[in-house]
Every structure is written in structure tokens, then in C-alpha cells.
Chain A
Amino acid sequence: ELKVEQNPLFLSMQEGKNYTIYCNYSTTSDRLYWYRQDPGKSLESLFVLLSNGAVKQEGRLMASLDTKARLSTLHITAAVHDLSATYFCAVDGKTSGSRLTFGEGTQLTVNP
């Protein structure tokens, strides 16, 4: 059974600081996705990582994938309040077709 673990689950940081959210998964996969969810809203796709070593960047967020370590990171650079949200990683296990297994989510609060 594929398990996906994120840490930390809760993150409170100051504006202007850097931080990294980690996503570990338990079985072989080379497809990993990051989503953002604002309170009371749906999930919005942030990044699609489809191969070992993939790196994607959008604004102050950068995601990477190391399939050998079964690890993805979401790095936040110079955080701003607008980045406050819950971030989910999701893994497409090779035996599950297009089924995704989600992590529990990291609730990020950026304080002024």
C-alpha cells in the first residue's frame, strides 16, 4: 500500500523567510503532484513532476523530485502572506494507473 507523508503538518513562518516542505512516499513512482488549497476552497494544481530530478518553479515556490530517495520538496523563498494555504503532495503509484494517494497536507501560515 502506497503511503505518502508530509512534514511538517503545520508551519508558521515570518514574511521574508525561506522554508522547505517535505513529501516522502513509500513505493516506486516517478509522478508526483503538488496542490494548494485555500480555506473553504478546492484544490489548485501547482506542479507536475514526472521524472527523477525534475524541478519546477513558479514565483516564490520551487518543487523538486528525487525518485531514488522517494522524496519531493516544496521550497518557499522569501515568503509572503499570500502564500498562506494548505499544500498537498500526491503520488501516482505505478500500479494504480492514474490514482493518486495524497499526503495529509501542510498548513502554512505566513505572518507579517
Chain B
Amino acid sequence: NAGVTQTPKFQVLKTGQSMTLQCAQDMNHNSMYWYRQDPGMGLRLIYYSASEGTTDKGEVPNGYNVSRLNKREFSLRLESAAPSQTSVYFCASSEPGQGQYFGPGTRLTVL
């Protein structure tokens, strides 16, 4: 039982490049989330998916797109990376009332 997994762990991009962050969970959770964490700002929600087939914007969605591929997988895409998107990205999953389980994070640097 791996919980929530994320790939890659580290990534360096040049401004304007695109990439997709992958997330998968094996806990059969309905809801999945993408956050970014910047120093001194806690976690901010980018997008979430309450259930398979649905996605909704969070607090900071600009510059990102998501795909809920199936119940297990939820990907985050940066179409044209900008230095302001340098951050640590966390994926999480949950069932109502249970709190969220977080993946190990992806450390992204955009030059």
C-alpha cells in the first residue's frame, strides 16, 4: 500500500517549457487535490477533483491545467512554465471527514 505517489521528485525547467506532474493513490479515495507550497505561505490549492470525472479550480489555478484520468490518477500540467511557478507541489487524496493524505512532493525550479 504505497498511499499517494508523485513523479518526478525534482524537475528543472526553462521558462516557456511544459511538463506534467503525475499523481496516483491506491486508497480508493474519491477526492484528489493539487497544492503548491511557497516559503511562508502555507499550502495553496491549485485544483481539486471531488470525484472521478470532475475538476474544479482552487485558489491559484492560473497557468495550470489538470486531468482526472481515472479514480487513481490526477495529473497537473504546466503549459508554459514561468519563474513564478517555482515551488514545491503536493498531491493529496481524501475521503470526507478523514483528512487528506499527501504525496512526497515535487520540487520544481523554473529558470
> Interface size for chain A: under 10, 10 to 19, 20 to 34, or 35 or more residues?
20 to 34
- Bound Cα distance A112, B42 (Å): 27
Q: Are A98 and B41 in contact (CB under 8 A)?
A: no
Q: Are B58 and A99 in contact (CB under 8 A)?
A: yes
For the complex, is B53 an interface residue (Cβ under 8 Å from A)?
no
Q: Are A98 and B90 in contact (CB under 8 A)?
A: no
Q: Which residues of A contact B45 (CB under 8 A)?
A: 99-101
Q: Which residues of A contact B43 (CB under 8 A)?
A: 43, 88, 90, 102
Chain A 78-112, CB-CB to B under 8 Å as 1, else 0, gives 00000000001010000001111111110000000
> Interface size for chain B: under 10, 10 to 19, 20 to 34, or 35 or more residues?
20 to 34
- Bound Cα distance A101, B31 (Å): 15
- A106 CB to nearest chain B CB (Å): 10
Q: Which residues of A contact B44 (CB under 8 A)?
A: 102
Q: Are A42 and B103 in contact (CB under 8 A)?
A: yes
- B59 CB to nearest chain A CB (Å): 8
Q: Are A43 and B90 in contact (CB under 8 A)?
A: yes
- B29 CB to nearest chain A CB (Å): 10
- A111 CB to nearest chain B CB (Å): 22
Q: Are A31 and B97 in contact (CB under 8 A)?
A: yes
Q: Which residues of B contact A45 (CB under 8 A)?
A: 99-101
* The residue from B40, B42, B99 contacting A48, defined by CB atoms under 8 A apart: B99
Query: Given known contacts A98-B96, A99-B45, is B40 in contact with A104 (CB within 8 Å)?
Result: yes
Find residues 39-66 in chain A having any chain B CB closer than 8 Å to their own CB: 41-45, 48, 50
Q: Which residues of B contact A42 (CB under 8 A)?
A: 90, 102-105
- Bound Cα distance A99, B46 (Å): 11
**B-side interface residues toward A, CB under 8 Å?**
31, 33, 40-45, 48, 50, 58, 90, 94-105
**A-side interface residues toward B, CB under 8 Å?**
31, 33, 35, 41-45, 48, 50, 88, 90, 97-105
